Structure 1
Amino acid sequence: MKLIFKIFLSFVLVLAIVSNAFAQPKKMTYRNRIDDSVKLVNTQEVAPRVKGPKPLTREHAIGARINTDGWGLYFNYGLIRKNEGRKTEIDRFYNVLYFQVEVGERYHPKEFRDFAVTGAQPYRNYFLSIFSTDMFKFGKVNNFYTGKLGVGYRYLIAGKPEANTISIHWNTNTGLALALLKPYYFKATAGNDIKLDPNDENLINTLSNTQFTGGYGYRKGWDELKVTPGGYLRTGLKFDYANRKKRVAGFELGLGAEVYFTGIHQMALQESKSFFVNAFVSFELGWKK
């Protein structure tokens, strides 16, 4: 009897333990919702990013200058300085820092080129005689050539509202000037070539008693070249009418001044000068990159 009671009691105890275990709340488990979620995709097409044109930073130009007392040929190398503005217009609104090299010639107001008058003469062509020694400049002492090396700045006054319009810049240029003086040689009836010395006391007699028949112009005297240093300054307004942003096309109107360390003789019986002032117009063509 006792054995049966013990077995029954053990069975009840085991049953109570099992019941208590199943009666505890179950531990909650969570599903991984990341894989089950719906991913939102932007179906709107995004336009590809397109790079704009490379900005222009350099300028190259060649030009010709006509002065009231001569001429000049020059080359510019410029660094473009952008102004504030929209990117679509920035290549039409800019300043330029540039370096310039120029060569030219200066004339005296009283020099005049003509044929010798020695009785009856055959027909003479003024244009073709430029390449001969038939014409000369009576009383000329020196050919006055110039060489210049300078730096300048063009400041924008009015930019181009549209590509086919005109921009206006205030242009200032200064630097070193060199006067290259070459003696002017004449042909004379005596058969020898002569040049005039401005310091000769008998210069008036030489001009009066010598029969000049021609002049060598630029052909003779380079081995006697003399150099006089000095400086120059120019200012003016430049008008740029180029119809494309990579082109340079324009003209400039302005004033210039030059000063040299020693006086320069150009004509006989005239005082030497070391200071020169002129007006000019220049035309130039070039490109930007």
Structure 2
Amino acid sequence: MKRIITAVLLFCFVQSQAQDVRYDYVEDTPLRYTSEFSIGATLHTSGWGFMFRKGKNLTVSKKRMFEVEVVSMKHPKEYKTVSYLSERPKTFVFGKMNSLLVVHGGYCFEKVLFTKAERKNFEIRWNSTGGLSFGITKPVYLIFASGNGLQVVEKYDPNNPAHDRDNVYGKAEFTKGLNELKLYPGLHLKSGLMFEYNILNDGITAIEAGAMVDAYAKEIPIMAFTKNKQVFFNLYATFMLGRKK
């Protein structure tokens, strides 16, 4: 899969260089639309999320955008386990110490490779995004069986013998741990192809696919009993809707 993505990105680079010559004669053409915005839902190889992108057209073929994206991020060793201690079995991830939410903010440069006029309402763009990545962790709280037959809600501690897999009823409510959030600042890079199809010239209906990287100064502790990462590489696909003005 990584070879496929590398080939696609190489193709994008070659095409973008070719377009520099191709669009020389129209770069001074008056712009029909000066700005645009879009929202989207993202799926990537470690989670999912939402994005918002807004910016302006610099020329006929070049755009500069500002992007904000919020995505979940899972560790590759996360596996759901079912607890049968209660009448209604619940799932949880044993060994998970923290859940991770990532907020991206940065600038996106887009280059139109093929316009709607050339491809009958079908437009292809190459884009490259760079900016900041903020990893936000929330500790995992689980419901455990206590020695007197009652249930207790505690933060998962891999060094606590009482926090054995067989003593877990399931996950605690989401609000547990919200007052213990930790921030991990880092950098974010993303590049991909955007395929837009819309019979209305001012409408945006598109799918974007590519690769993204989040890098932090230190490892983010998501799972116990395994190595955690400070660099996250993912493939992604985003479905987008928007409007040009």
Write out aligned runs for 1:1-289 (5 A). 55-83=32-60, 94-118=61-85, 121=87, 134-161=90-117, 164-190=120-146, 191-197=151-157, 202-203=159-160, 205-208=161-164, 211-216=167-172, 218-289=174-245
User: Hey, which of these two has a bigger chunk of strand by percent?
Assistant: 2
The residue that corresponds to 2:6 in the other structure is: none
TM-score (norm 1): 0.68
d(CA) in 1 for partners of 2:165 and 2:122?
58
Does structure 1 retain, via aligned residues, the 8 Å contact 2:121–2:201?
no
- Which one has a bigger Cα radius of gyration? 1
Which stretch of structure 1 is more off in the superposition, 187-196 or 278-287? 187-196
- The count of aligned residue pairs is 212
What fraction of aligned residue pairs are identical, expressed as a percent? 32
By how many angstroms is 1:189 displaced?
A: 1.1
Does structure 2 retain, via aligned residues, the 8 Å contact 1:139–1:207?
no
The residue that corresponds to 1:35 in the other structure is: none
List, as ranges, runs of 4+ consecutive aligned residues in structure 1 with deviation greater than 6 Å. Answer: none
d(CA) in 1 for partners of 2:103 and 2:126?
23
Q: Show structure 1 runs of 5+ residues with no match.
A: 1-52, 84-93, 125-133
By how many angstroms is 1:206 displaced?
A: 4.4
d(CA) in 1 for partners of 2:99 and 2:174?
8
Q: 1:54 to 1:179 in 2, by over 3 A?
A: closer
User: Secondary structure at 2:234's aligned position in 1?
Assistant: strand
d(CA) in 1 for partners of 2:165 and 2:172?
20
Q: 1:137 to 1:77 in 2, by over 3 A?
A: same
Q: 1:156 to 1:162 in 2, by over 3 A?
A: closer
Q: 1:209 to 1:97 in 2, by over 3 A?
A: closer
d(CA) in 2 for partners of 1:145 and 1:221?
14
Q: Show structure 2 runs of 5+ residues with no match.
A: 1-29
Which stretch of structure 1 is more off in the superposition, 105-114 or 208-217? 208-217
Q: Deviations over 1:234-253 (max 9, x none)?
A: 01111011211111110111
By how many angstroms is 1:110 displaced?
A: 1.9
Does structure 2 retain, via aligned residues, the 8 Å contact 1:184–1:217?
no
Q: 1:178 to 1:142 in 2, by over 3 A?
A: same
By how many angstroms is 1:284 displaced?
A: 0.5
User: Secondary structure at 2:164's aligned position in 1?
Assistant: helix
Which stretch of structure 1 is more off in the superposition, 66-75 or 110-119? 110-119
d(CA) in 2 for partners of 1:243 and 1:209?
55
User: Secondary structure at 1:266's aligned position in 2?
Assistant: coil
d(CA) in 2 for partners of 1:209 and 1:173?
42
Does structure 1 retain, via aligned residues, the 8 Å contact 2:210–2:235?
yes
d(CA) in 1 for partners of 2:109 and 2:172?
40
Structure having greater relative contact order (Cα 8 Å, sep ≥ 6):
2
d(CA) in 1 for partners of 2:49 and 2:128?
17
Does structure 2 retain, via aligned residues, the 8 Å contact 1:163–1:243?
no
By how many angstroms is 1:158 displaced?
A: 1.5
By how many angstroms is 1:197 displaced?
A: 3.9
Q: Deviations over 1:260-289 (max 9, x none)?
A: 112101111122211110101111001111
When the two chains are superposed, the root-mean-square deviation of aligned CA atoms in Å is 2.2
d(CA) in 1 for partners of 2:214 and 2:45?
13
Does structure 1 retain, via aligned residues, the 8 Å contact 2:204–2:243?
yes
TM-score (norm 2): 0.79
Q: 1:189 to 1:288 in 2, by over 3 A?
A: same
Does structure 2 retain, via aligned residues, the 8 Å contact 1:101–1:150?
yes
User: Secondary structure at 1:223's aligned position in 2?
Assistant: helix
d(CA) in 2 for partners of 1:69 and 1:216?
23
